[in-house]
Structure 1
Amino acid sequence: MRKKTAYDDALGDFFAQHADTSPYNAYTDRPAMLQLAGDVSGARILDVGCGAGQYAAELTARGAHVVGIEGSATLLRYARARVNGQAELRLHDLDEPLDFAADASFDGAVCALVFHHIKNREQLLGELRRVLRPGGWLLISTTHPTADWHHFGGSYFSHDWSDLAVAGGKHSLHYQRMPLETFISELLAAGFVLEQLIEPRPTAALRKIDEATYDRLHQAPSFLAVKLQHP
């Protein structure tokens, strides 16, 4: 029986309907990650936790061949409608091995704002290293540990699983907090080489539609994003 995820049903609907315009997704995380990806024309890319398909659609439009995996059936329905057959999408539990993919079968992988939801991160990173070709790249974005510390309080070094209320408290996101030390150490222990680390800020386009939010998100970080290489 398929494991139900937090993004099934109502939360999946909420995320899919807001990710196109959210200051966090549309104007902060996604532009930064796509800039890190650079030229993807002709590349075979694995979209890990493809959500409602925004990344898959954008990468495909830029000439990539995308395989997207998602644990939420709700989000996958939105993603399939968005890409309209232009990318290969499959329902897959991200805590399970990537048994559908051959060794060294991808040029790049994107894992956008999903890493902190994964319980078996060591296995996922090992599998990503396996399916990426030598010289391939991996992009990961996650919640910024100082943002979590500011919001939840307690110890900065907490590894607690926490619930972040969204949509005025109607829904919550369940994920594991981790300090920067843990985040980077897990990536390096998996055998990846860190090429670049950024703290994404919203693009100027947000300022034109919501100057107050633009200014607020330039005062404190929300996310971390890294580009890693398979040596």
Structure 2
Amino acid sequence: MLQETAYHGALGEAFAAQSETSSYNAYIDRPAMLALAGDVAGLRILDVGCGPGHYAAALTERGATVVGIDGSAELLAHSRSRTGDTVDLRQHDLETPLDFAADASFDLVICALVIHHVRARGQLLAEIIRALRPGGRLLISTTHPAADWHHFGDSYFSREWVDLPVKDHDDLAIHFQRSTIEEFLGELLSAGFALETLIEPRPAPALRAIDPDAFERLSTRPSLLAASLLRP
């Protein structure tokens, strides 16, 4: 199984295809994160772990100037196909400092379903807060610890690195570190952020017509966490 921070090779291609219509990506995380973003017209935004470019495209359409970074060449290719020349896309290893970003150069940073893959989380959060202007915001989402606990069936307090098989791809898995809500928020607050909003997003109503069983299931149990934080 692949165990990379970025989704390389076949894993990148599988995720690009899945993210188009996946309940978790298309009907829970994206609607929630874009709702948290609100009015972004005129803002300069950094999309950390931009993947196949769904968030970058949506934020650009809303009038933002977006810089997207990802470690995966495969996902950046999909992002370029989706955004054309409207987004500044860069291949960048999230385990390394954001050396391209000047201090206080972004109004908003979005980090969607990425942070649990990163080993150097403290470094990344420190770099994000450095790159944000005072009063700027970080929007971040992750897997819900209770959902991971339910799936893996052991201790809620586990901090193990685990492999989650990719649907319809027995040879591929997503590698990430489990956490608790306490640890997730603790890392963000320790980095210097102030919590503005914490949500446990439910599926968008549009999912009911497409997959009523998934809609009912995901409406009654947590799947993701999302938060908006301020840089003082």
For 1:167 and 1:229, locate their aligned partners in 2 and report how far apart those are by CA, in whole Å. Answer: 36
Given that 1:6 and 1:173 are in contact with CA atoms closer than 8 Å, whether structure 2 keeps it comes out as no
Q: Tell me how many residue pairs correspond in the alignment.
A: 229
Are 1:99 and 2:108 an aligned pair?
no
Asked if 2 retains the 8 angstrom alpha-carbon contact of 1:95 and 1:120, the reply is: yes
Take 1:6 and 1:110, find their aligned partners in 2: how far apart are those partners? 16
More off after superposition, 96-105 vs 14-23: 14-23
| Secondary structure in structure 2 of the residue aligned to 1:63 | coil
Please tell me whether the aligned partners of residues 192 and 231 of structure 2 are also in contact (alpha carbons under 8 angstroms). yes
- Structure 1 residues 145-184: Cα deviation after superposition (integer angstroms, max 9, x where no partner): 0000011121111110000112133421100000111000
Bigger Cα displacement from structure 2, 188-197 vs 161-170: 161-170
Using the TM superposition, give the Cα deviation of residue 20 of structure 1 relative to its aligned residue in structure 2, in angstroms.
1.5
CA contact (8 A) 1:6 1:174 kept: no
Correspondences of 1:58-97 after superposition (within 5 Å): 58-97=58-97
The answer to whether 1:212 aligns with 2:213 is yes
1:83 Cα deviation from its structure 2 partner: 0.4
Tell me, what secondary structure is at the counterpart of 1:20? helix
Distance in 2 between residues matched to 1:101 and 1:62, nearest whole Å: 23
- Written as runs of structure 1 = structure 2, the 5 A alignment for 1:1-231 is 5=5, 7-168=7-168, 169-231=170-232
| Contact 1:5 1:72 (8 Å CA) reproduced | no
Q: Which runs of 4 or more aligned residues in structure 1 lie more than 2 Å from their structure 2 counterparts after TM superposition? A: none
TM-score, normalization by structure 1: 0.97
Query: Structure 1: any 5+ residue segments left out of the alignment?
Result: none
The root-mean-square deviation of aligned C-alpha atoms, in Å, is 1.2
Same amino acid, percent of matched pairs: 62
Cα deviation 1:176-197 (Å, max 9, x = unaligned): 0001110000000000000000
Ranges in structure 2 where 5+ consecutive residues have no aligned partner: none
8 Å Cα contact 2:6/2:70 also seen in 1: no
Cα deviations across residues 2-32 of structure 1 (Å, max 9, x unaligned)?
A: xx65511111111111212111101000000
TM-score by length of 2: 0.96
* 2:116–2:177 CA contact under 8 A, matched in 1: yes
Q: Deviations over 1:80-114 (max 9, x none)?
A: 11100100000000010000010000000000000
Kept in 2, the 8 Å contact 1:115–1:121? The answer is: yes
Query: Which shifted more, 165-174 or 141-150?
Result: 165-174
